[in-house]
């Protein structure tokens, strides 16, 4: 059985910005997230279809990603709305890069784009490292 790591509510909130692929990045679908970003959600058609696909994407993300110390949904909200200031990096304990993002506008937005592509994996890594460190493997 799997634990709930991603939220349908957050998925739908990000879907509002779905023409940029935000919800697809959130659910770990980087390739289609990029396609949505560059085609404005397949000219809006894919964006509307995703309204009905979010429950399935949510289930698959819950199976794929493991819970732990850092919450996926909170991290994604911080990245989406405050990423340019590095708040999501401060949350994950990455103080140096958080300060770098804060002083450089998310490393001139390229760092924010990088985090959109890799945030789920970063959280999974940090959660695994924390579990291994504290004997909860």
In whole angstroms, give the CA distance from residue 12 to residue 32: 17
Residues 18 and 77 occupy one common structural domain? no
Residues 1 and 31 occupy one common structural domain? yes
Judge whether 15 and 23 are in contact, CB under 8 Å. Answer: yes
pLDDT at residue 136 tops 70: no
First to last CA, the chain: 16
Residues 31 and 74 occupy one common structural domain? no
Q: How many domains does the chain have?
A: 2
pLDDT tens-place string over residues 4-30: 999 999 999 999 977 789 999 999 999
In whole angstroms, give the CA distance from residue 59 to residue 6: 8
pLDDT at residue 137 tops 60: no
| Other C-beta atoms lying within 10 Å of the C-beta of residue 56 | 11
Residues 87 and 47 occupy one common structural domain? no
Quote the domain boundaries for residue 1. Answer: 1-65
Residues 72 and 61 occupy one common structural domain? no
Residues 89 and 128 occupy one common structural domain? yes
Q: What is the pLDDT of residue 14?
A: 92
pLDDT tens-place string over residues 98-126: 999 999 999 999 999 999 999 999 999 99
Residues 56 and 35 occupy one common structural domain? yes
Q: What is the pLDDT of residue 115?
A: 97
pLDDT at residue 2 tops 80: no
pLDDT at residue 135 tops 90: no
Closest residue by Cα to residue 86 from 72, 104, 71, 74:
104
Residues 120 and 133 occupy one common structural domain? yes
pLDDT tens-place string over residues 38-70: 999 999 999 999 999 999 999 999 999 989 999
């Amino acid at each position: 059985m799997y634990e709930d790591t991603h939220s349908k509510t957050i998925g739908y909130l990000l879907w509002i910005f779905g023409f940029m692929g935000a919800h697809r990045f959130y659910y770990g679908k980087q390739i289609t997230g990029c396609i949505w970003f560059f085609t404005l959600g397949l000219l809006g058609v894919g964006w509307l279809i995703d309204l009905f696909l979010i429950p399935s994407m949510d289930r698959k993300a819950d199976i794929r990603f493991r819970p732990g110390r850092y919450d996926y949904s909170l991290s994604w909200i911080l990245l989406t709305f405050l990423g340019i200031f590095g708040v999501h990096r401060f949350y994950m304990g990455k103080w140096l890069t958080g300060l770098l993002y804060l002083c450089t506008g998310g490393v001139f937005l390229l760092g924010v784009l990088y985090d959109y592509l890799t945030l789920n994996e970063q959280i999974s890594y940090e959660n695994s490292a924390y579990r291994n460190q504290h004997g909860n493997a």
